[in-house]
Chain A
């Protein structure tokens, strides 16, 4: 984890100093200045009558006195709002239902990128709701289900052009009702929470053995042992080894307070860090344990009661956890909610009294941190990717809706355009 922190901090500096280094996947020729807007920056609060100057796909300057050269296209946003693009840290869109390889409870070698259907219109609908980046995760049938993909919602581009450059690899774990139901119905292990966790311990024990076998093999070679046999390369255990080495961000689907504690204990036992608990509807019961371990949550604003482990969900969860020091993000987990995550984040202002800045954090920088891209996006900051949304009205409300969305400085959605409202994409393309 420490390694990550250092790595990310390093990136942040580089990005700030040399913004033009990140231009491989976008046209980057847009030079524009959005003027007279109310900026909700996330990291610098609200700025009235603010401007944002964008060049080479980056935010070059922002504030009340942001200077832009005459060459920049001027967009007058009088009476409107500008925010960073929304980051959805939990989505299953564009995976064509290929979300669960539920033939085995531990399949870390599954790569969501292999199932990523970049032509799915759900991406366009998320974009039109102001989402500029999403973490596409596998489902929750498996205890360890596969490696996620991070995308920017550049609908109309090719698959690889949509992948978020430099985003760290996330892996999804699950727990609770889903794995035990899916495998239990097949009369297989796991069918209880005891089974769930033992399956995980077993997997990591195997991964430790695997690491040791390779270490022994390397040691034998070093000692000149000619009879040393190379262990078999196993993609499943290879992936788990990477988790043990801290090379992946661990995202865990987990509902219940007791399960957070068990997950933390297992992570400590095997020596990996948990990046975030997803759903985390009972975080309000044990927020200190999460805060102490630096674990974020990606939660719903007010979903509840759809299953027994969601029966104790309360809409105050996000704010109660936040007040205890937990980094909180609001996520969609839904092709519907991802289209209006701003409303979901605004609910935290009602349930628990989150401030405007706190609600914006839950919508942008905190989910960006969960995904590991908070050095690149998630706030209006100089040097960051120009992922911006222009809103018709106050975004933390029911009636403010996106008017335009830029990603890496390019306009991908414009409500005023006829048809789908996408300058980069025409139907039939």
Chain B
């Protein structure tokens, strides 16, 4: 056994021991009674959330509203007294509470990392090559990660899982829901989109002695262009093959089929414009280069990042593309005002750009709503901030027929909290995912309870 293997063995056994003792604790506290989390609602019966302030996203705010969940769907939304509550409904009194759609985080690494500094717990990016569209985060997604319940604790119900941005084309994102029996249930849409990163971080330029292609942005662009051209050539080759095959007459020699290439095949839905590429860039020059490259191949685009692009907001607005903003916590340039990046969501929204927020993180997904709240302090209208966490991402990801608002017929991803969803002091009280209430218990609440009750 090598040293590093031994360390892993120790770590793993510690983790197991911890998990076991957490389990033990659960049993103990259940036996004792008081520390047990409040019993959650029964999903097989209707659930009525009454008296709360409903932030519907599509038809304004309903003060003193009623929302009914049945069979995983929202079946009733309306003002108290104006709608009927099923007689057998379990009632959650939400008086003084805010009720809103589950929040959607448009870029996370959930399920790809556990402890950032522990290599063996990370599957963030395949850095052996820069062109890796055939990497599917769905293949690495660790459904049992301790991080998901922590994120859920704050009302995040859905997320994009993306590989780390170390490659220009690092693979394909999945759209998940933060509850389910296993990975199959949680991975709602596999390969929903493909990141196209152009921030300079993808260069292999650590030093002249260790530098590899692509050492520069020119190299990054040339390499990606070649990949897309190759994919086009691949399509042509197969088309020709099928044509030949179709035109074959009896006795003709069988045409030779071209070899399959998973890398190039992975690019095809994007060349067809069927799925979006998520173009991540920060500097104006990078944004324009990446945009031009995507235009060249007629790719369907969602912009991402843009943290240093204040000077071209007008141009970006003219492109009429949705934008995943931020992180708004990125530092401004040395010469810039302190709030240059904080203001970005407000400035883009003012120009009519559809924006969505993201945590760009795994451990701190729970803090997603606060970025939107902070953007409000710097000029983003409140309603836009809420929509940028719910309706807009649902639209951008093509799931707005199911998610993103409190509307009859939609999937019941619903959150009940004791205040403004965008404020740090607000406590989330109930989280429903597909109409099923998820207990607000995670590894951290278990540690809290264990050490609160220690002798």
Binding site for B on A (CB under 8 A): 121-122, 124-125, 128-129, 177, 284-285, 302-308, 310-316, 320, 335-336, 339-340, 343, 346-347, 349-350, 392-393, 396-401, 419-421, 427
Contacts and interface: CB of A to CB of B under 8 A. Distances in A.
B425 interface: yes
A177 B116 CA distance: 13
Closest 7 CB pairs of A and B: A398-B373, A307-B117, A128-B338, A314-B444, A305-B363, A399-B377, A306-B116
A216 B444 CA distance: 55
B254 interface: no
Given A307-B116, A307-B118, 15 more contacts: A121-B334, A124-B338, A125-B331, A177-B117, A284-B448, A305-B362, A308-B117, A315-B444, A316-B444, A335-B331, A336-B329, A350-B424, A350-B427, A397-B425, A399-B422
Contacts of A393: 377
A167 B147 CA distance: 41
B147 to A, nearest CB: 7
B338 A420 contact: yes
B59 interface: no
Q: Which of B331, B337, B377 has the most CB of A within 10 A?
A: B337
A346 B147 contact: no
B101 to A, nearest CB: 19
A259 to B, nearest CB: 15
Contact of A343 (B331, B366, B424, B427): B424
B357 to A, nearest CB: 13
Given A125-B331, A316-B448, A421-B337, A398 B423 contact: yes
B22 to A, nearest CB: 11
B425 A350 contact: yes
A314 B448 contact: yes
Contact of B444 (A304, A350, A398, A400): A304
B90 interface: no
Nearest to A312: B447
Interface string B332-353: 1011011100000000000000
A205 B241 CA distance: 81
A168 B291 CA distance: 54
Nearest to A257: B451
B424 A305 contact: no
Contacts of A419: 337
Interface string B401-431: 0000000000000000000001111110000
Contact of B422 (A320, A398, A401, A421): A398
Contacts of B337: 419-421
A346 B425 contact: yes
A302 B364 contact: yes
A403 to B, nearest CB: 11
Contacts of A129: 338
A350 B421 CA distance: 12
B83 interface: no
B19 to A, nearest CB: 11
Contacts of B423: 397-399
A336 B331 contact: yes
B374 interface: yes
A285 B338 contact: no
Contact of A285 (B147, B376, B451): B451
B115 interface: yes
25 contacts: A128-B338, A284-B448, A302-B364, A302-B366, A302-B367, A305-B146, A305-B362, A306-B117, A308-B118, A312-B447, A314-B444, A336-B331, A339-B329, A343-B370, A343-B374, A346-B424, A346-B425, A350-B427, A392-B377, A396-B425, A398-B374, A399-B377, A420-B337, A420-B338, A421-B338
Contact of B116 (A305, A397, A420): A305
Nearest to B118: A308
**Interface residue SS majority, chain A:** loop
A340 B331 CA distance: 13
B452 A397 contact: no
A427 B339 CA distance: 16
Contacts of B332: 125
A347 B374 CA distance: 14
A397 B444 contact: no
Given A347-B424, A421-B337, A399 B448 contact: no
Instruction: Report the contact-size class of chain B (Cβ under 8 Å from the partner).
Output: 35 or more
Contact of B451 (A124, A305, A320): A320
B452 A125 contact: no
Nearest to B428: A350
A70 B416 CA distance: 52
Contacts of A320: 448, 451-452
A341 B117 CA distance: 25
Contacts of B23: none
A92 B412 CA distance: 45
A399 B114 contact: no
A393 B363 CA distance: 29
Nearest to A396: B425
A122 B333 CA distance: 10
Nearest to A335: B331
Contacts of A401: 377-378
Contact of A397 (B118, B335, B424): B424
B11 interface: yes
A8 B374 CA distance: 38
A350 B370 CA distance: 13
Contact of A349 (B11, B118, B422, B425): B425
Contact of A128 (B115, B117, B147, B339): B339
Contacts of A336: 329, 331
A14 B114 CA distance: 52
B374 A399 contact: yes
A335 B422 CA distance: 23
Contacts of B364: 302-303
Contacts of B376: 398-399
A177 B7 CA distance: 13
Interface string B194-213: 00000000000000000000
A427 B373 CA distance: 30
A18 to B, nearest CB: 36
Nearest to A127: B338
A305 B374 CA distance: 24
B330 to A, nearest CB: 8
Interface string B433-455: 00000000000110110011000
Given A128-B338, A343-B424, A346-B425, A314 B373 contact: no
A352 to B, nearest CB: 9
A390 B202 CA distance: 42
A399 B338 contact: no
B251 to A, nearest CB: 67
Contacts of A347: 424-425
A171 B38 CA distance: 47
B377 A400 contact: yes
B377 A308 contact: no
B10 to A, nearest CB: 10
A401 B339 CA distance: 11
B240 to A, nearest CB: 52
B338 A398 contact: no
Contact of A305 (B115, B339, B377, B445): B115
Contacts of B425: 346-347, 349-350, 396-397
A353 to B, nearest CB: 9
A43 to B, nearest CB: 22
Contacts of A399: 373-374, 376-377, 422-423
Nearest to B452: A320
B49 to A, nearest CB: 21
Contacts of B445: 314
